[in-house]
A and B are shown apart, each in its own frame.
Chain A
Amino acid sequence: MNIKEKNDKKEAFLSPDQITFHQKEKDQNNTAPGISKKKVTTPNNQKTDKTLEIVPVITKSVLQNNEKQLAEIQILKELLKAKEQLLINHVNAINTTNASIEFDLEGNILSVNEIFLAIMGYSEIDLLGKHHSVFVDPSYSKSNAYKLFWSSLKKGIYQKDEFIRVAKNGKMIWLLGSYTPILDTNGKPYKILKIATDITLAKTQFLQLAVQAQEKEKRASELVIANKELAFQNVEKEKRAAELVVANKELKFQNEQKEQRAKELIAANKELAIQSKEKEKRAAELIIANKKLAAENILKQKRKVEKEKRAAELIVTNRELAYQEKRTKELTLANDELKKAQEELEAFSYSVSHDLRAPIRAINGYTQILIEDHIDAIDDDGKNVLNGIIKNSNKMGVLIDDLLAFSKLGRKQVSAVNINMKTLVTGVISDLTIEKDENTPLFEIDELAPANGDPSLIKQVWINLISNAIKYSKYKSETRIKITSTSKNDKIIYSIKDWGAGFEMEYYDKLFGVFQRLHSQDEFSGTGIGLAIVQKIVNRHHGTVWAESKLDAGAKFYFSLPDIKH
C-alpha cells in the first residue's frame, strides 16, 4: 500500500467520533454571532456575543436617543475594535508558526499565508483563485476519494491528518494539519481553513526507517527462508554424502571383488604360465638334455681335439720356452760379447795409439836419421821422397790421435755444470794460435746466455768451430766471425758465422761425418774429425748441431745446449 492510497484511505474513512465531534462544533458555531459584511477569520470555539445592525432614525427623541445611541455605538465600536484587534492578534499568532490557507467550499484558494507559500514554493499570485488540486497528484485529484474528501469538507466535516502534497517544484511535502470548515452566521460552512506544519523531514526519516525496517524484516524473513533452504540443502547434502559413502563402499567392495577376481585370474594365468613354462622348460630340458648329450659327444671329440691341440701347443710352448731360453742365453751372450767388444774396442784404442804409433814413429825416426846422417848419399829426388815419408807418417800420427780422441768421447763421463759461455769463448779466443797463412780474425761476440754442460768438452766444440771459421776464411781479405746466442724453449742455441769459403749444401750429410771432408787437403788442411767431434759432444749434451752455408759466401753453424733453468 503506497502512501497516497494510505492518505486517501485516511481521508476517505473518518471515524463516527470525528463526525460527531464536527457536529458539536457546528452546533457551537451556530450559537456564535457572525459578521456578514466583513470577512473575519475566527477560531471555531471563539464566542462572539453580539453582532450589531445600524438602522438610521430621524425624530428628536429619536435624535436624543440617537446621540445616546451614537455614544453607545461609539463605545460599542471601540469595544468591537478592541475585540477585532484581539482577533487579529489571535490570527497573527497562529500565522506566525503555522502554514495556513483558505479555500472556498469548491476548493478554490481564497488566501494563503507566507509560511504556506514558503513550504510549497509558490508566490501568492500563483495560487489565488487556483484549485486545491494543484497540491495533489493528478491521479488523486481525479479520484473518487478526492471528491469525497471535498464533499465531506463542504458538509462541514473536519479533517485532520498527515497529508502528502506536491510542491511547485514537484517535490513531495508532508503536512501535518487540519482542514477546518468555517461556518457563517447561519452555521453553514462557507469556507475551509487549512492550518498545517511541514513534517516532510521527520516523515521522510520515519518512512525511510519504516522502509528500512521493512527491508530488514524482509531480509530477515528472506534469511530465515535462506537458512531453511540451506539447512534443507545441508540435510540433502548430508543425505547425499551418506548415499555416496554407501555408494563408495559398494564401489570399493565391487572393486575389491574385481581386484580379487583379477588377482585370482592373474594367479590362475600365472599358474597356467608356470605350467606352460614348466612344460616348455621340460621340453627345453629335454632338448637341452638331448643337446647336452649331443654336445657332450661333441665336447668329448672337441676335448680330444683340444688335448691334441694343447699337446701340440705345449710342444710349441716348450719350443718357445726353449727358444726364449736360447734367446736369453743369446742376449746374455750378446751382452757379454758387447761388453767384450767394448773392452776390445778400448784395448783396440789403446793398441792403436800404442802399437800403431810405434812403427810410424820408427818410420818417421829412421827417415829422419837418413836425412840427418846420410844426406850426402841421397840425391834430390831421394830427398823429396824422404820428406814425403816424414810428412805422411806425421799425418798418420795426427789421424791416430784424432781417431783416439773421437772414440774417447763416447766413453767419457759428461759432467753438467753451469757454464759462463762468454768467459769460455773469450778464453778459447785468447788461446788461439793463428797459422802463418791465416788472417787475424775480427770477432763480434754478443752477450752469450749461460748453458749446462761439460766445460772441457764445450770448450773443444768452440775450439773446433772457431778454428774452422778461421781456417776456411784464410783466402778472404779479412776474417770476420760473429758469435751469438738465442733462447728457445728449454734450449740455448749458439751460432757462429763466418764469411769464408762455406760449403755446398748438397754435401751437407757428409759435413759431420768422421774423416769426411768437403775441401781438398791442398786447399784446407785437416783430418776431417773436427765437426764429427763437435757433433758427438753436442749430442752427448742432448743437443743438436746444424749448419747452413752457400759456397764461397760463408757458413753459419748452430748448436743447442740445455738451458741452465732446466
Chain B
Amino acid sequence: MNYDDIEILFAEDSMEDATLTIRALNKSGFTNKLLHVKDGAEALDFMYCKGIYSERNPKSHPKLFLLDLKMPKMSGIQVLEKIKSDAEFKSIPVVILTSSQEDPDIAKCYSLGANSYIVKPVDSNNFFNAIKEMGMYWMILSQPAL
C-alpha cells in the first residue's frame, strides 16, 4: 500500500465507528486519501515512519488528524501531546473524536492544542451531519496554498 500523500490520518480503535465515519465522509463527497489506524501507537509509527510505515516518505504529512481519545496501547491524548510538541507537526489541525461529552480529557485536549472535538452521536443522522460539517470545515481550511 502506498502510504504517501495521505491527507487524513484517522486513528480509531472501533471498527464500527471507523466504518461509519469513513462512510459519512465519503457520502459527504470527501474523496481525500484517508488512512485509518487502529490505535495511537500505529498513528505515531506512521508519523515517524516506523514499523510498517518505515518505507514511506517522511516529508509527506497529512493535512488533518482525526483522533479518537479512547484507544488501546496509546490513547489519543498521548498522540496529541506528541504531535503538538513536535515543531514539524504542530501546525497540522487535530480534531478529537469522543463517544462522550463527559470525557474528562476534553479540556486537556484543548490545552494541548487540539483544534476541535466531536462527540459522536448515537443517532446516525446526527453522526453523519457532524462528520460532514467537520470534514468540510477542516479540509477546506487545510487546503494547501495554490
Interface residues of A (CB under 8 A from B): 349-350, 353-355, 357-362, 364-369, 390, 393-394, 396-397, 400-401, 404, 408
Contacts and interface: CB of A to CB of B under 8 A. Distances in A.
A451 to B, nearest CB: 28
Given A354-B99, A354-B100, A368 B16 contact: no
Contacts of A393: 122
Which of A349, A361, A397, A400 has the most C-beta atoms of chain B within 10 angstroms of its own C-beta? Answer: A361
Contact of A365 (B70, B99, B101, B124): B124
A350 B100 contact: yes
A361 B17 contact: yes
Contacts of A367: 124
Nearest to B21: A365
Nearest to A352: B100
Contacts of B113: none
B121 A397 contact: yes
Contacts of B128: 368
Contacts of A361: 16-17, 20, 99, 120-122, 124, 127
B125 interface: yes
Interface of B: 14, 16-17, 19-20, 23, 70, 98-104, 120-125, 127-128
Contact of B124 (A350, A353, A364, A408): A364
Which of A360, A364, A365 has the most C-beta atoms of chain B within 10 angstroms of its own C-beta? Answer: A365
B122 A397 contact: yes
B20 A357 contact: no
Given A368-B124, A369-B23, A394-B122, A354 B16 contact: no
B124 A357 contact: no
Contact of B122 (A364, A369, A408): A364
Given A362-B16, A366-B16, A390 B124 contact: yes
Nearest to B23: A369
At the interface, is chain B mostly helix, strand, loop or mixed? loop
Contact of B20 (A349, A362, A400, A401): A362
A508 B70 CA distance: 43
A357 B120 contact: yes
Nearest to B14: A358
23 contacts: A350-B100, A350-B102, A353-B99, A354-B70, A354-B103, A357-B99, A357-B122, A361-B17, A361-B120, A362-B14, A362-B16, A362-B17, A362-B20, A364-B122, A364-B123, A365-B16, A365-B20, A365-B124, A365-B127, A368-B124, A368-B128, A394-B123, A397-B123
Contact of B99 (A358, A369, A394): A358
Which 9 residue pairs across A and B have the least CB separation, nearest first? A397-B122, A353-B100, A362-B16, A368-B124, A365-B20, A354-B99, A365-B124, A354-B100, A364-B124
A349 B124 contact: no
A400 B100 CA distance: 10
A368 B125 contact: yes
Contacts of A362: 14, 16-17, 20
Contacts of A364: 122-124, 127
A404 B16 contact: no
Nearest to A395: B122
A360 B103 CA distance: 18
Contacts of A394: 122-123
A368 B27 CA distance: 13
Nearest to A350: B102
A353 B124 CA distance: 16
A291 B15 CA distance: 97
